[in-house]
Amino acid sequence: MKKVLVLDFGGQYNLLVARRVRECGVYCEIKPYTMSMDDIRAFDPAAIIFTGGPATVFEPNAPALDNAIFELGLPILGICYGQQLMIHQLGGACRRAEVREYGKVELTHDGTSLLFDGVEPTSICWMSHGVEVEKLSPGFRAIAHTAGCAYAAIENAERKLYGVQFHPEVLHTVHGTEILKNFLYKVCGLSPEWSMANYVSEAIGEVRAKVGSGKVLLALSGGVDSAVAAALLYRAVGEQLTCIFVDHGLLRKDEGDQVEQAMHDCLGMRIVRVNAQERFLTKLAGISEPERKRKIIGEEFIRVFEAEAKKLGRVDFLAQGTIYPDVVESGVGGESVVIKSHHNVGGLPDHVDFKEIIEPLRRLFKDEVRQLGIELGLPESLVWRQPFPGPGLAIRVIGEITEEKLHIVREADAIFREEVAKAGLERSINQYFAALTNLRSVGVMGDERTYDYAIALRAVETQDFMTADFSRLPWELLDTVSRRIVNEVKGVNRILYDVTSKPPATVELE
Ligand code: XMP
């Protein structure tokens, strides 16, 4: 399979560049711009993309490349800093722009370049730069401009070298995907052959080659990534895989059963389910500080997992559902491994005897992981699950946790989810749940005074969960949910809807 090399200069949209290329059906990987020429040759790319970055080409110590890269004869697309660097290194010049362009800007191309083939003459693009090309390198010409930038896109068609000052990977660039497709298909002659349907057999082959006849152990969390990793591993090595599912009693209504059933019914796979509810509740008794709860749950998870894993004796591989965005560091990309706490809840087990870690999803983006899950036969309900935090309902009961409170929040949450699904809003809200506030207030039911808990409903829309906006849910939906919870869940007499965004609030209440 042909692949594109994305050389990372540290720009904020770099992961998006790789995602868009893959969405065009072309496999690519992000590597740091410091990759050696030998490694680049060994990677054997069909084309190279230079990303944007925060540096300024003409300043000392600015990231630069070996000029040999331009002699490989490969098509290259430079984006923002990438364009400036190409020009700078090939005998042209850049300067600080008189007007810093930022945001949506009208772009006009001259209709003569393959890069803009089929693209409207004038359209909106996304700009974010304070430096611009001043003088082109020999053999280059301008192919598009904006009011403030004469070299918004450039080419040396003969050498297949292209540059854009704007960001085609950002969705605000209306024809960004078409421009990338033009580069990949028309300039580079690549075709869209990267899809999860095609990838399955390759991924299975890779796992088999690595695992051989070894034993693999995986901790299932009930989340999408570990479930898809399990499905892939099971398809590849069958009973050599053991999945341990620690049910800490902090899952949503019927969730533990659903995970077990999906793995069994859809894949024919048996999992080891450890019902450790009591153990966790005992450890959490009397604890109300959120971070303390998280720590206890993380540690306890590892202890339970270890105890179960010990029964298997030595395993050869410990599998994890790490995905590509976790692997590529923010900033100047590369292959540094960041194991996020929520992938294994509380870090790696100290007392499990294994040879190596295996991460079969480490090259995939989240949407690719979901497609792969579907290809492997997992149900949509599991594959399209909304994010659910490792510590589960423990951080959705504010303050001290009791069995009664867990029951209340679980039932309220189930009603909320059921009604959101009925309203057809499941996929348009990124995360939604009920939380039990530790607040009790006065109410009246029938002729009686009540003094019960208030439930907070939370629903957010977000791209990356770093910032989020609260969802403008229809009043009718909130009305139905509110009535149902108060009527059906004993111990609740008030429903609040959280209308804060993040920041200043967070998504979870704890
Ligand atoms: P916050 O509350 O930080 O949530 O705005 C952002 C996203 O992270 C999830 N979250 C967690 N996930 N362990 C996890 O695995 C945690 O301790 C944790 N806290 C928050 C949250 O559900 C949301 O998707």
Q: What is the pLDDT of residues 29-45, one digit of tens each?
A: 999 999 999 999 999 99
Three-state DSSP state, 242: strand
- Which residues lie closer than 8 Å to 189 by C-beta, 6 or more apart? none
pLDDT-derived band at 467 (thresholds 50, 70, 90) equals confident
Q: Are 57 and 84 in contact (CB under 8 A)?
A: yes
Least Cα distance to 107 among 162, 51, 161, 168 occurs for: 168
* Residue 423 identity (one-letter amino acid): A
* Residue 347 identity (one-letter amino acid): G
Q: What would the mean pLDDT of 290-302 be, rounded to a whole number?
A: 93
Mean pLDDT over the full length of the chain: 93
pLDDT at 229: 97
pLDDT-derived band at 335 (thresholds 50, 70, 90) equals very low
Q: Are 318 and 352 in contact (CB under 8 A)?
A: yes
Three-state DSSP state, 237: helix
pLDDT-derived band at 329 (thresholds 50, 70, 90) equals low
Q: What would the mean pLDDT of 198-220 be, rounded to a whole number?
A: 95
- Which residues lie closer than 8 Å to 171 by C-beta, 6 or more apart? none
pLDDT-derived band at 334 (thresholds 50, 70, 90) equals very low
- Tokens encoding 424: 């057809």
Q: What distances in angstroms separate CA 395 from CA 96, 155, 238, 384, one per listed residue?
A: 49, 54, 36, 22
- Please indicate whether residue 222, judged by its CB atom, sits closer than 6 Å to ligand 1: no
Answer whether residue 344 shows pLDDT above 70. no
Answer whether residue 332 shows pLDDT above 60. no
- Tokens encoding 487: 């009527």
Q: Are 47 and 4 in contact (CB under 8 A)?
A: yes
Of 28, 80, 149, 188, the active-site residue reads 80
Q: What distances in angstroms separate CA 337 from CA 78, 322, 493, one per listed residue?
A: 27, 9, 47
The H or E element containing residue 496 is strand 492-497
Least Cα distance to 388 among 421, 433, 428, 344 occurs for: 433
- Which residues lie closer than 8 Å to 90 by C-beta, 6 or more apart? 67, 70, 137, 138, 140, 161
Alpha-carbon torsion, ordered 72, 76, 78, 84, to 10 deg: 40
Of 29, 132, 169, 419, the active-site residue reads 169
Q: Are 375 and 334 in contact (CB under 8 A)?
A: no
Task: Tell me how far apart the alpha carbons of residues 95 and 87 are, in angstroms, rounded to a whole number.
Answer: 11
pLDDT at 38: 98
Least Cα distance to 334 among 30, 19, 26, 5 occurs for: 30
Total number of residues shown for the chain: 510
In the chain, count H helices and then E strands: 15, 18
Answer whether residue 478 shows pLDDT above 50. yes
Q: Are 393 and 406 in contact (CB under 8 A)?
A: yes
* Residue 428 identity (one-letter amino acid): S
> Is 106 annotated as catalytic?
no
pLDDT at 336: 33
> Is 80 annotated as catalytic?
yes
pLDDT-derived band at 352 (thresholds 50, 70, 90) equals confident
Alpha-carbon torsion, ordered 249, 252, 256, 262, to 10 deg: -170
Q: What would the mean pLDDT of 483-490 be, rounded to a whole number?
A: 98
Structure confidence by residue, pLDDT tens digits, 58-84: 999 999 999 999 999 999 999 999 999
Least Cα distance to 134 among 83, 69, 66, 68 occurs for: 83
Atom of ligand 1 nearest to the CA of 294: 17
Three-state DSSP state, 338: coil
Tokens 């594109």, residue located: 4
Pocket probe for ligand 1: among 291, 458, 508, the residue whose CB has the most ligand atoms within 8 Å is 508
Indicate the DSSP class of residue 131.
Answer: E
Answer whether residue 343 shows pLDDT above 60. no
Task: Taking the CA atoms of 228, 229, 232 and 235 in sequence, report the sign of the dihedral they define.
Answer: negative
Structure confidence by residue, pLDDT tens digits, 428-464: 999 999 999 999 999 999 899 999 999 999 999 998 7
- Tokens encoding 453: 């808990």
Tell me the CA end-to-end span of the chain in Å, nearest whole number.
46
Predicted TM-score (pTM) of this structure: 0.84
Task: Tell me how far apart the alpha carbons of residues 173 and 170 are, in angstroms, rounded to a whole number.
Answer: 6
- Which residues lie closer than 8 Å to 59 by C-beta, 6 or more apart? none
465 CA distance to ligand 1 middle (Å): 8
Atom of ligand 1 nearest to the CA of 387: 24
- Tokens encoding 295: 């720590």
Atom of ligand 1 nearest to the CA of 345: 15
- Tokens encoding 105: 């800007």
Task: Tell me how far apart the alpha carbons of residues 211 and 233 are, in angstroms, rounded to a whole number.
Answer: 10
Indicate the DSSP class of residue 406.
Answer: H
pLDDT at 163: 98
pLDDT at 230: 97
- Please indicate whether residue 102, judged by its CB atom, sits closer than 6 Å to ligand 1: no
Q: What would the mean pLDDT of 293-313 be, rounded to a whole number?
A: 92
pLDDT-derived band at 416 (thresholds 50, 70, 90) equals very high
State percent of the chain over pLDDT 90. Answer: 86
- Please indicate whether residue 508, judged by its CB atom, sits closer than 6 Å to ligand 1: yes
Phi-psi group of 14: left, alpha or beta (phi > 0 → left; psi -120 to 50 → alpha; rest → beta): alpha
